[in-house]
Structure 1
Amino acid sequence: MSDLWYSGAATLEEKKSKSIIHPFTVKSYNGLAINPYQGCGHRCAYCYATYEWSPEFYDKIYAKSNASEVLDRQLAEWKSDTIEPVMVASATDAYQPAELRYGLTRRCVKVLQKYNVPYIVFTKSVIIERDLELHRQYRDNCFIIWSITTCNEKIRRVVEPGTPPASKMFQVMKKFTDAGVCCGVYVDPIIPLVTDSDEDLEAVVRSCKEAGLRYVFGALMRLRTDIWERMKLVLRLLEIPDGIEKYKQIYNFEEPLDANYVAANRRYAEKIIGSLEDRIKSYGMECGFPDYMGPRRIDRSHLGQTTLHSYLV
């Protein structure tokens, strides 16, 4: 089973994209998303973006080399005068190590700013620190969210071996909040029997407060056939007593798991999420998104006056 996702460093390859901005829906959220990269080197065992349609997700990173040009064209041709916030990125990490080589996310962010488009960045990376000034100058129209799973290094090395330590991410967050950039943490996913203890949740929430964050929220891990196969190995590597049987109770299933997604039972979910939210509120932080992240009027006043090249430097 060790070849499920621990298979060495990913390879990089360039590709062209015909379209870059797409509708994006998750639970009750409806908006837009761009993904300058396809695939991800973080190798998170719980990753939802892997599945039958992306068998190379961990092993081959595709850089959409024309992403910023395509994004510029799509925004110039946008049919509405307003636009919803754009998620950067929804199916991978826009600031994964490939960004050091290609800089596609930076170029796309410049295009979003050029058209006055609000954006939300989801990341597990510290590479975003390179773009601190870029986001700072747009701080009233963006929201930076770090996805944190655990502050426990033993667990991180098993569950998400390609990510930086949480302590490094919190250091970068502090630099962003000190610069006046609105930031948040998504405790996602909370992994039953692995990161759901009082000690683990407390460590994450306390670190959020120390980093100057205002917004923190979280979600429990959902199971899917491929995720379950990886999680069984995680439970064994971490030596969780009776972990597999306890998961069957928490998620109410018997093997083989044959479903698109399986959620934890309601009693367990309410207990864990309630505990997280109580901690967040006790530290004076908020659960959710800032109110200002709404639709904006697209700015096309520059069209015909400025070439795209000046935004790609």
Structure 2
Amino acid sequence: MSVEPLGVETPMYDITTGTGDFIADGVVSHNCFARKTHEYLDLDAGHDFDSKIVVKVNAAELARKELASPRWGGHHVAMGTNVDCYQRAEGRYRLMPGILRALTEAANPFSILTKGTLILRDLPLLVEAARVSEVSAAFSVGFVDERLWRAVEPGTPHPRRRLEACRRITDSGIACGVLMAPILPYLSDSPEQLEAAVREIAASGATHVTPIVLHLRPGAREWFLGWLSREHPRLVPRYLELYGRGAYAPKAYQERVSTQVRELARQYGIGRRASWRIQPDKPPPPEQLSLL
């Protein structure tokens, strides 16, 4: 793995985009839809995406500047929605503490989506931020099958380690849910597999679970189907049938899987259990001036 300097300064145009601190995941995730972004830098969406990481080393500085701008409206900032801000390179560059402090100083609401248990390093900062604004987190856990995890998401923390981290975050008073993604057709979508995943998600204390079926955008599509042809060639025709018209599986299939997950979540009580939550401090009421 290498970290590639861009050789030029690039501005942070919009901190609501969720592009994170890194342009690459830094882990071999065959289905990652962010793969296409590497082509914007004249790198390929396959091996380069897995091995070359582009780092915005001044991300915290730019975030603080943007948050202080009169044009900024204090909108919710979603981090990790394109690439993972707690991938392994964060352990070296330590960009997130500065970003979290900037958001806390601005009392700006935010959320973080990650597969990285490194987020626990910054748990005290998250708790501090939650005292002044709305803060939440979520982990991406599409399945708990160990063999499938090793094949599809090598280099990522074990799904159970992610769920243990979810428990620690919720126990700290911060809402933490699970994005059950990706659900892989014919690989992780059987009733037994879905129930196993939801059961462990419920045990983690997750505040909610959101199922998302695999989608294959350009870049990720070619890489994932290449992996599928090597590891599960018999499934290639079925995937081409499901994804023959675009990046998404048919709505009927998505709805069937989502209905199963929602029903399992209801059975296991996800979202029903009361949990202690940090509440942002309310400003003191204005003092009543006395008349002389």
Provide the rounded CA distance (Å) in 2 between the counterparts of 1:32 and 1:247.
30
Report what 2:239 is aligned to: 247
Question: Any stretches of 5+ residues in structure 2 without a counterpart?
Answer: 278-292
Say whether the 8 Å CA contact 2:116–2:156 is kept in structure 1.
yes
Provide the rounded CA distance (Å) in 1 between the counterparts of 2:54 and 2:250.
37
Please give the per-residue CA displacement for 1:162-218, whole angstroms capped at 9, x wherever unaligned: 211101111111111111111010011211111111122112211111111111102
Structure with higher strand content? 1
Tell me the number of residue pairs that the alignment of Structure 1 and Structure 2 aligns.
Answer: 263
Match among 72, 90, 101 for residue 92 of structure 2: 101
Residue identity in the other structure for 1:213: A
Provide the rounded CA distance (Å) in 1 between the counterparts of 2:267 and 2:9.
46
Match among 56, 62, 71 for residue 54 of structure 2: 62
Show structure 1 runs of 4+ deviating over 6 A: none
1:235 deviation in Å? 3.0
Provide the rounded CA distance (Å) in 1 between the counterparts of 2:197 and 2:141.
8
1:223 matches 2:216? yes
The normalised TM-score by structure 2 is 0.82
The normalised TM-score by structure 1 is 0.77
Q: Residue 38 of structure 1 aligns to a residue in which SS?
A: coil
1:277 deviation in Å? 1.2
Say whether the 8 Å CA contact 2:103–2:129 is kept in structure 1.
no
Q: Residue 127 of structure 1 aligns to a residue in which SS?
A: helix
Report what 2:65 is aligned to: 73
Match among 282, 287, 290 for residue 267 of structure 2: 282
Match among 195, 205, 214 for residue 207 of structure 2: 214
Provide the rounded CA distance (Å) in 2 between the counterparts of 1:142 and 1:246.
41
Query: Structure 1's 229 and 252: CA in aligned 2 closer, same or farther, altered over 3 A?
Result: closer
- 1:153-192 to structure 2, matched below 5 A, reads 153-192=146-185
Question: Any stretches of 5+ residues in structure 1 without a counterpart?
Answer: 1-9, 24-30, 254-260, 293-313
Provide the rounded CA distance (Å) in 1 between the counterparts of 2:184 and 2:119.
26
Residue identity in the other structure for 1:277: R
Comparing 55-64 and 271-280, the one that deviates more = 55-64
Q: Residue 192 of structure 1 aligns to a residue in which SS?
A: coil
- 1:125-164 to structure 2, matched below 5 A, reads 125-139=116-130, 141-164=134-157
Structure with higher helix content? 2
Q: Residue 248 of structure 2 aligns to a residue in which SS?
A: coil
Say whether the 8 Å CA contact 1:223–1:262 is kept in structure 2.
yes
